Structure 1
Amino acid sequence: MGADVLVIGGGNAALCAALMAREAGASVLLLEAAPREWRGGNSAHTRNLRCMHDAPQDVLVDAYPEEEYWQDLLKVTAGKTDEALARLVIRASSSCRDWMRQHGVRFQPPLSGALHVARTNAFFMGGGKALVNAYYRSAERLGVQVRYQAPVSRIELRDGRFVAAWVGDERLTAGACVLAAGGFESNREWLREAWGCNARGEWPADNFLIRGTRFNQGTLLRHLIDDHQADAIGDPTQAHMVAIDARAPLYDGGICTRIDCVSLGVVVNREAQRFYDEGEDFWPKRYAIWGRLVAQQPGQIAWSIIDSQAVGRFMPPVFPGTQADTLPALARQLGLDEAQFMQTLDAYNAACRPGHFDHTVLDDCRTEGLAPAKTHWARPIVKPPFYGYALKPGVTFTYLGLRTDATAAVRFGGQPSANLFVAGEMMAGNVLGQGYTAGVGMSIGTAFGRIAGQRAASAAQRRESAHA
């Protein structure tokens, strides 16, 4: 046997599992599909962890109690979440930072300003790349074996128990296994299959950009569901999907491709019409619904329109937007129908009601008699120069996954496996049926990665004792 515990994946959840299993005394082999320079999956693009806390704590200000965290999650998922597992994640988020620090993760002082998350989220010093590197250094120091460019194509099971994994023609056995190999967001064919062809004859998935790693093909996820009939959960079209700069690269654009001015202006589609309330809620609670909204528009494209009043109130994009001194000129530069564009903007401007504008709170600046309404931060777009940013759907990770419980065990016909566990994107759909709130993906990966690693070590050790 190569190791007590086999961990398949190389991102945050996989690393948490590997570290916990090793700390519990198990020998561990981690298989990362990517080359070393691309290791870490989507975790390398993350920035923070959403944390529950009942009072100010080191890098977190004020308090963010369990119930508020739960209500935030409940709101963005519209109830499509397993409350017991969600609360498990929330509680675990309050006590994991000391363990993370022990493995080299550093946090930066509280942030203030337009992100509204100094109270709710702990930011990694150096971002996700630094976190991933710290975990790999710690893993190697503790004796975790790491193999790169080692994609697992299939696994062997016997009566719901893990037996072996295959990397090419190589068969690797272990006493227990943790699956943490990500979703299927990089698998264009699967995305096409999930999203299908719409009424306009378009294949929406053909216009999706992938914000993270190209290595998340969903190979093992499909293998477990189709070939082993593992219990699945989630809708294959639901994902962490952000409206990003349409000029972003196909893969690995990461955080710098985000366009954060949506809530401070209006968004129009190819037909120059608005289609959703831009001011529904704070941006960290709503940014991850806009990719899906844009995906449902003609051509899977839209434009965020702001004026100079909004400049300086949001994280500026890496690349400048299209700029014009008049709205008609902006419409022409964006290639939008000028008459329809002006009709949309004039109707919006006329519907804005006076209020006290404050982008740091849910203010009273709203529209009246307009559909869709803009419920907060609605100010007439009148101050030149004007800016337009083209948006496309950017998929971060998919929510279809393996059903699990508080033990992180993979389930077959409702029965938990004795030695096969799951963490991270491969099970995030248990908590995230739809929607997203900033930092919760890392909370899920950290909580279930640690549980899976600990359980896998125990399962492997029990098996060894039984064979002794």
Structure 2
Amino acid sequence: MHDVLVIGGGNAALCAALMAREAGASVLLLEAAPREWRGGNSQHTRNLRCMHDAPQDVLLEAYPEEEFWQDLRKVTGGNTDEQLARLVIRASSTCRTWMRKHGVRFQPSLAGTLHLSRTNAFFMGGGKALVNAYFRSAESLGVEIRYETPVDRLELQDGRFVAAHAGGRRIEARACVVASGGFESNRDWLREAWGRNERGEWPSDNFLIRGTRFNQGVLLKDLMAQGADTIGDPTQAHCVAIDARAPLYDGGIVTRVDAVSLGVMVNQEGKRFHDEGEDFWPKRYALWGRLVALQPAQIGYCIIDAKAVGRFMPPVFPAVKADTLPELARALGLDPTTFMQTLDAFNAACRPGTFDHTVMDDCRTEGLTPPKTHWARPIDTPPFHGYALRPGITFTYMGLKTDARARVHFGGAPSDNLFVAGEMMAGNVLGKGYTAGVGMSIGTAFGRIAGTEAARAAQKETADAVA
């Protein structure tokens, strides 16, 4: 029997396995995916948000705890557990030395990501390099890893973990960490959560999944059925407006279109529906997926002109281009008359200012609903570019309620040997909204806590048995 069983293969699970092994526990990690698809959604990431009080190698200036907290509080609308959020924030300031020890390397922000140069540390080689480094380190430390081993259910007794059941096999351990992701790839559960809208549509049928197809929420549903305490709204998620041509699964970051704040967004009816310039893109990009999900047919269109080209990270798919705005409307399948009414009204409402995409500038609209409060410039310079966008779900927020020791709770009482990390508990910190890199901060902090606590619980059980 192993001391600690870790279920999952992403950042949080790997952090838990490494910490438990460093604490002296024998560790078995079960990854549902085959080896070539290992890493969960973490393989598609590229940075984590880090608190720091002074410049640190790849991080510029300072990003103190209170500013991080205020950023998080703003994007969540206060829907966050402040104690756990501050725990994550403080842990983000000390984790990188440990990460380097396990082979993770960092690099400065690249062109197009400079808004994050003060707040986020980028992984050299991206998330795939990070998870590969962690897997190599885990193997070298003696963590046993089994691929293509999805767990069907957990066997519990009075809130205590007893065994995991995987494909007819019963796997016992003295303690367990569940870090197997949310339910974003479970199309039936998404339908159940989102239901029909007032137009009779099933919105979730048009969602694309930015991350892994293996996050089906099997253990989340199992633990809910066994009375585990939950937190969060099943419709809240890290939901980004991504290129409508993206694949159903595993599109990753390259399917994101970062031009929204530089232009206008219209729906299928050719009408704007939200302020494109209300805040810096890293603090608002994850809002747009949900906004698009609320539009007819769950689709929106990002419209920019030649002035915006080269000011954002180029996406994997090329834009639809035209020499005139009516031609662009027709190429995108939009009614040119309504489209031009929208664009003409926007252009007329733009007020002169000093455009600067690196600050909250004074380029704004006046007398327009919804307004564009920053970076508003007329869309008037050909060629014109358009991107059709659909909601891209990265991970869901509804999960298991936990505490500062990463324990799963049942009826308010914490388990003494079952712990949770990563997407399965992120809703404790992220009730809604998102700010770039915070998901990796949560997974790293709680993965490390869960691994340490699981090792301690296993060692206690062994000591009690000897006594």
TM-score normalised by structure 1 residue count: 0.99
Structure 1 segments unaligned to the other structure (5+ residues): none
Q: Is the 8 A contact 1:242 1:292 kept in 2?
A: yes
Give the match's secondary structure for 2:379: coil
Give the match's secondary structure for 2:270: coil
| Structure 1 residue corresponding to 2:279, chosen from 281, 304, 328 | 281
Amino acid at match of 1:145: E
In the TM superposition, residue 281 of structure 1 has moved relative to its aligned partner by 0.5
CA distance in 2, matches of 1:224, 1:204: 27
**1:79-114 deviation digits (Å, cap 9, x = unpaired):** 000000000000000000000000000101344545
Could you tell me which residue of structure 1 aligns to residue 348 of structure 2? 350
Identity of aligned residues (%): 79
| Structure 2 residue corresponding to 1:437, chosen from 430, 435, 438 | 435
Q: Is the 8 A contact 1:80 1:434 kept in 2?
A: yes
**1:431-459 deviation digits (Å, cap 9, x = unpaired):** 00000000000000000000000000000
**1:183-233 deviation digits (Å, cap 9, x = unpaired):** 00000000000000111110000000000000000000011012x110000
Could you tell me which residue of structure 1 aligns to residue 62 of structure 2? 63
| 1:283-302 map, 5 Å | 283-302=281-300
CA distance in 1, matches of 2:152, 2:81: 30
Give the match's secondary structure for 1:442: helix
Q: Does 1:397 align with 2:395?
A: yes
CA distance in 1, matches of 2:129, 2:171: 30
Could you tell me which residue of structure 2 aligns to residue 329 of structure 1? 327
| Structure 1 residue corresponding to 2:252, chosen from 251, 254, 259 | 254
Could you tell me which residue of structure 2 aligns to residue 361 of structure 1? 359
Could you tell me which residue of structure 1 aligns to residue 408 of structure 2? 410
CA distance in 2, matches of 1:103, 1:34: 22
Give the match's secondary structure for 2:163: strand
In the TM superposition, residue 168 of structure 1 has moved relative to its aligned partner by 1.2
**1:21-46 deviation digits (Å, cap 9, x = unpaired):** 00000000000000000000000000
Give the match's secondary structure for 2:165: strand
Could you tell me which residue of structure 2 aligns to residue 241 of structure 1? 239
**1:311-368 deviation digits (Å, cap 9, x = unpaired):** 1111111221110000011111111011000000000001111111100000011111
CA distance in 1, matches of 2:202, 2:183: 17
| 1:56-205 map, 5 Å | 56-111=55-110, 113-205=112-204
Structure 2 segments unaligned to the other structure (5+ residues): none
Could you tell me which residue of structure 2 aligns to residue 463 of structure 1? 461
Q: Is the 8 A contact 1:5 1:460 kept in 2?
A: yes
Q: 1:242 to 1:75 in 2, by over 3 A?
A: same
Give the match's secondary structure for 1:397: strand
Could you tell me which residue of structure 1 aligns to residue 451 of structure 2? 453
Q: Is the 8 A contact 1:10 1:40 kept in 2?
A: yes
CA distance in 2, matches of 1:379, 1:398: 35
TM-score normalised by structure 2 residue count: 0.99
Amino acid at match of 1:10: G
Give the match's secondary structure for 1:243: strand
**1:128-161 deviation digits (Å, cap 9, x = unpaired):** 0000000000000000000000000100111111
CA distance in 2, matches of 1:137, 1:316: 32
CA RMSD of aligned residues (A): 0.7
Amino acid at match of 2:170: R
Q: Does 1:214 align with 2:213?
A: yes
**Stretches of 4+ moved more than 2 A in 1?**
109-115
| Structure 2 residue corresponding to 1:318, chosen from 299, 316, 328 | 316
Q: Is the 8 A contact 1:76 1:285 kept in 2?
A: yes
CA distance in 1, matches of 2:27, 2:81: 30
CA distance in 1, matches of 2:170, 2:245: 42
Give the match's secondary structure for 2:241: strand
Q: Is the 8 A contact 2:112 2:313 kept in 1?
A: no
